[in-house]
Amino acid sequence: MDPKKCIAFPNKKASVLQFCQAEIVHFCTKMIINSSPELLSNARLSLPEDMSAKYFRVIACSIQLLETLIVLSYSTVSLTVSDLQMNKSQYSSLFDFKILDTYQKERKSVGIWDLFSHEQAIIRRNTYSLLSNLCKVWPDSIDQPCLSKISTKFLGKIFSNERDPSVQPQMWEAIVVFTSVFPQSWVIANGGTDFVSIEGEREENDELEQKQKKKGPKPVLPKFFSYIKNGGFDSSSIYVMYPSLLPIIAHLPDETSPLIF
């Protein structure tokens, strides 16, 4: 059954989403950045493993809720990109790493894009899906500071860390979409200097660039090719991985040629 036909008052649904969008994003931000197993459960009444399981479910559902808001902008009866743009400051508090870094320094919290390396597969899977749909629907929300961080935390780590076949479809879709929209992400992830050049943030940019020079280039493409050579370290992954290779290679920027040939 078409779900649109089940909605008696589609305009009211759109109005509710528009009216509550900022509060929903604020709630998700609070859960993802500031929550903990101890804050979500009573340690005197719950076992540690139950507290952790509840915490992981809340994080995963919060990411999925954010993704749903973004995906709904596809629908003619729900949100639009303009509606998302109206609450950009709310989304920026979650996506913009300049703000997240402040949270981490003051509150010792974790930013949303750090979840690419989370121990729980469901959280990584939902984060991959969020990135895919964000690039499809609202790529303008990813500014240069955020792009630099995502490139490092996503492309820079997944080919070394991700071995779970259950997240392979979402991971490869995220790679295809993200690198198609932002091909320069390969250069950034490989230790390039494609950082922010916005007035007022050049000092921070220079510090990042100096750190990159001290550490040397990050061998992302060699890890990528090794990952392919090993079939994603799981035989079932090749059915998702191989169809994704052509669009990925097609969008490799010219700057990566010396690292390939």
Indicate if the alpha-carbon torsion angle 27, 30, 36, 38 is positive or negative. Answer: negative
> Running DSSP on this structure, what letter comes out for residue 160?
H
Q: What does pLDDT average to in each consecutive run of 10 residues of the chain (261 residues)?
A: 50 78 92 91 95 96 94 71 85 71 55 93 97 94 91 94 94 98 94 44 47 55 92 87 94 76 48
The whole-number pLDDT of residue 198 equals 33
CA distance 178 to 174: 6
Predicted local confidence at residue 208, as pLDDT: 47
- Check residue 255 and give its pLDDT: 82
For residue 12, the model assigns a pLDDT of 74
pLDDT at 179: 97
Cα four-point dihedral sign 222, 240, 169, 194: positive
What per-residue confidence (pLDDT) applies to 207? Answer: 53
pLDDT of residue 86: 87
Q: Tens digit of pLDDT for each residue in 115-153? A: 999 999 999 999 999 999 999 999 999 988 899 999 999
What are residue 179's phi and psi, to 5 degrees? -75, -20
User: Over 189-228, what HEC string results?
Assistant: HCCCCCCCCCCCCHHHHHHHHHHHHHHCCCCHHHHHHHHH
Output the pLDDT for position 210: 54
> Tokens 């950034």 — which residue?
188
**What residues contact 256, with CB distance under 8 A and at least 6 apart?**
186, 187, 190, 221
102/159 Cα distance (integer angstroms): 28
Nearest to 189 by CA among 137, 151, 136: 151
- pLDDT (0 to 100) of residue 42: 94
pLDDT at 235: 82
pTM: 0.82
Angle 144-149-154 (CA atoms, 0-180°, nearest 5)?
125
* Contact present, 242 and 229 (Cβ < 8 Å): no
Task: Give residue 136's pLDDT.
Answer: 94
